[in-house]
Amino acid sequence: MRHNRLLQLLADNRRNFTPIEQRIVRATETEGETTTIYFYDPIVGDRVSAEWWGGICPQDFVPALRAIQTPRIDLRVNCPGGDVFGAEAMCQALREHPAHVTAHIEGLAASAATEITCACDEVLITPSSKFMIHETWCLAIGNKRDMMAMHDLLASCDESMLAEYERRTGQDIEQLRRWIEDETWFTAADAVKYGFADAVKEPAKKASAQASAWNLAAYANAYKPDRVQAPAPAAPVPASSPEFATEDHRARQQQRLAMLARTQFV
């Protein structure tokens, strides 16, 4: 059975947990009319997952979005994807918001993050950014009936994503299906050519190194940008080192022990 690549994606890209105001939404005003949202984390389905793995969850994102009252919103996206149901909840909030929402892809919009951008009124993408679509994944445990039910659920999720891509791009549904089956990575120019984005946006300043910061080993055909070398892995910190016993580490160890206690079989 294929390992759970969604959990791998979250684990590989885990950030230290910080409050919602610092992680997701920072407002900047241009004549008091524009609010900027920084969508710079993986998507998770609930707050517990966000606290455990890091990431953006709908319980935090949706209320923060609905509190915005400016007529324009800039959604700045650098996201490797994540939970498809969490993404749909955020998409619906974006569709319902009265503001004109412009997605600015600034590095990567992959997997479920592409649904987020499709829910916006306008999509701009920087020249070096990438856009990736693929079939939905899952982790399933159970008997043959459970597996058949999960197959049907995955197929349903794929159809929902395809409908969103078709609405956004106007591309033939069978072409879109082939693209998701192949896990297709689009350059910025191709994302515009095929309708996933409206225009390539020339960056006002030198491009950030954040565009290549995501660990995308969970994906089968992960894009490898030219002339970009992955940083050498840091040397492991000995357990006896004072740096190892941080407050964050102690808190997470206690969280793991508590979860282990709740999940033991009797």
pTM of the model: 0.69
**pLDDT for residue 14:** 59
Domain ranges for the chain, please list them: 5-235
Asked whether the beta carbons of 189 and 200 are under 8 A apart, the reply is yes
**pLDDT for residue 5:** 60
Helix 58-66 crosses helix 84-96 at what angle (to 10 degrees)? 10
**pLDDT for residue 168:** 97
DSSP-assigned states of every residue in 32-100? T-EEEEEE-S-B-SSHHHHHHH--B-HHHHHHHHHT--SSEEEEEEEE--B-HHHHHHHHHHHHH-SSE
**pLDDT for residue 25:** 44
Q: Coil, strand, or helix at residue 265?
A: coil
CATH superfamily of 5-235: 2-enoyl-CoA Hydratase; Chain A, domain 1 (3.90.226.10)
**pLDDT for residue 50:** 86
**Blockwise average pLDDT, block size 10, the chain, 266 residues:** 53 52 44 86 91 89 93 95 95 97 97 97 97 93 95 96 97 97 97 98 60 58 51 45 53 58 45
**CA atoms lying within 13 Å on the CB side of residue 201:** 21
